Structure 1
Amino acid sequence: MPELRTTTLVDAPLRTVAAALLDARLLARAVRGLGVRITGGDPVLFVGSTLAGSVGLVNGTLVVTRADTTGVSAELVGGPLPRFTLVTDLLHTGGGTMVVDSVEWSSPGGPFGRLADVLVGRGLALKVLQARAAAVSTRSVELVGARVVVGAAIVRDGLLLAQQRSYPPEAAGKWELPGGRVEPGETDHAAVVRECAEELGVTVTPGDQVGPDVPLRSDLLLRAYAADLTSGTPTPVEHRALRWLPAADLDTTDWLPADRVLLPALHHLLT
């Protein structure tokens, strides 16, 4: 079973590099010019999201199986190979974040399959890994100074508070965590308190970060925090509706893509 591995040291905090990896367009841009085409429907990667890929006339679909602060993993489904996995692990070091990329696959078999591994598979896989590592490094540097949107994961009696967007049209009807942009000179925690007062009419006490940083745009990140409801009854001031969700309903709720990234961490928070 062929396997290739590369390591890259990125001069950025681990959570920033993790956010760069979640950019669904990063891999597509990285492999442009290598004869590989990658497309995806969502702007960010989350568990269960897919990326369609092709090499020449050969097509397949990568399904994301992990997307968090430890890295990203994906498996090929419906392609010509019996097995293909792409794994990126992140390790904190004193000099930055170590990005360990590996790709592993099984050949169709026979002498021609083994020959293709040597002549084509290994060379192309190595080029893809090297291009992706360079793209992750560049994107991480871009995100170091990005502005932040905070989200509040408010839990009460084992239920998570979610709010439904009423605008803009492309987001209307979808669900998200309460929150908003961090103002200049404001801390993340102060922004969580202010936004919950403005959007919900309640007072909260923010705690630890929940899940990874999530890229929203080239210069904007979503960062969610657990929050305790200390006073008031939540009211949808700017949104269409509010819901208290049990863990069983998290995966079936129509979340905005950025909030969907947080679902594994939100499940953990509720349980």
Structure 2
Amino acid sequence: MPELRASALVDAPVAAVAGALLETSLITGFGVKVPGALLCLGDVLTGPFGVKLTVTRADLSGVSAAGDFLELHTDLVVTGAGTMVVDRVAWTTVGGMVGRFADVTVGRGMALRVLEKRSALLAERCRELGEAGVVVGAAIVRDGRLLAQQRAYPESHAGQWELPGGRVEDGEKPEEALARECVEELGVPVVVGEQVGPDVPLKKDMILRIYAAQLGGGEPEALEHNAVRWLTAGELPGVDWLPADRVLVPALQQLIT
């Protein structure tokens, strides 16, 4: 199986680069049809000539998608100068001279041009996300279960589930904002830990950043939501999450287990 590799250094933290890679706008310009604005595990992408790929990875380590005769992998490597983005494209060669010609002209030539353009778009998007506002969320785990809350509003998202949290206000640190939001939404104090998963783009100038957290006492209540619920790792994929929270399901499952 022929393989093409390309790499580029992006001056941004790995969480920002991994988040930017989740935005499907980076690939729709190349004729790829996608099911939503963010890549999620299991999504099916349809490319030119009817090529179909299934997303098999979308986390802090990068993104992968595979089909019957084509595989795409983007691996992220943390360096002292930023995040190294390593792209790999592998495909099955059609037999004969036509196949060898396609390997050189279409496979290598076209793929290399696409990767170079995508790298430039990725670097620019990471610069934008570096200046974006932040919404924080708490991945609160107790006894092998994750706490989620059900939205009451707006109407378009009522009934869907999300992690507790809210926007970081001017002058606040993300950890301070998260502790404040958990008291306001759940009525409990929390101890904020490390970041979980990538920075997930919510819109052009806003990201969602999730932190692991532990209850500091008391029992969470749905003060501003319809309900709260404790979920096992196996239950997470079947929940009707908000789109940005759904992206983080693999990272949340790892946190629980």
Q: TM-score range by the shorter chain?
A: over 0.9
* Identical amino acids, percent of aligned pairs: 57
Q: Identify which of 202, 221, 227 aligns with 1:235.
A: 221
In the alignment, structure 1 segments of 5+ residues that lack a partner are: 32-36, 77-81
Q: Does 1:63 align with 2:54?
A: yes
Superposition TM-score, scaled by structure 1 size: 0.90
Superposition TM-score, scaled by structure 2 size: 0.95
Q: Secondary structure at the match of 2:117?
A: helix
Give every structure 1 segment of 4 or more consecutive aligned residues whose post-TM-superposition deviation is greater than 4 Å.
none
| d(CA) in 2 for partners of 1:165, 1:109 | 54
**Partner residue of 1:42?**
36
**Partner residue of 2:95?**
109
Q: Tell me the CA shift for residue 94 of structure 1.
A: 2.1
Q: Identify which of 189, 208, 228 aligns with 1:222.
A: 208
| d(CA) in 1 for partners of 2:242, 2:94 | 39
Q: Tell me the CA shift for residue 169 of structure 1.
A: 2.7
| d(CA) in 1 for partners of 2:240, 2:94 | 39
**Partner residue of 1:196?**
182
In the alignment, structure 2 segments of 5+ residues that lack a partner are: none
Q: Does 1:176 align with 2:170?
A: no
More strand by share: 1
Asked whether the equivalents of residues 19 and 215 of structure 1 are also in contact (C-alpha less than 8 Å), the reply is yes
Q: Does 1:18 align with 2:18?
A: yes
| d(CA) in 2 for partners of 1:111, 1:96 | 42
Asked whether the equivalents of residues 15 and 197 of structure 2 are also in contact (C-alpha less than 8 Å), the reply is no
| d(CA) in 1 for partners of 2:190, 2:111 | 48
**Partner residue of 1:257?**
243
Q: Tell me the CA shift for residue 222 of structure 1.
A: 0.7
**Partner residue of 2:64?**
73
Aligned length: 257
Deviations 1:183-224 (A, max 9, x none): 111111111110011111111111111111111111111111
Q: Tell me the CA shift for residue 156 of structure 1.
A: 1.5
**Partner residue of 2:84?**
98
State the Cα RMSD in Å.
1.4
Q: Secondary structure at the match of 2:98?
A: helix
Q: Secondary structure at the match of 2:28?
A: helix
| d(CA) in 1 for partners of 2:57, 2:81 | 25
Deviates more, 1:9-18 or 1:106-115: 106-115
| d(CA) in 2 for partners of 1:109, 1:238 | 62
Q: Tell me the CA shift for residue 256 of structure 1.
A: 1.4
Q: Does 1:145 align with 2:95?
A: no
Deviates more, 1:89-98 or 1:155-164: 89-98
Q: Does 1:121 align with 2:107?
A: yes
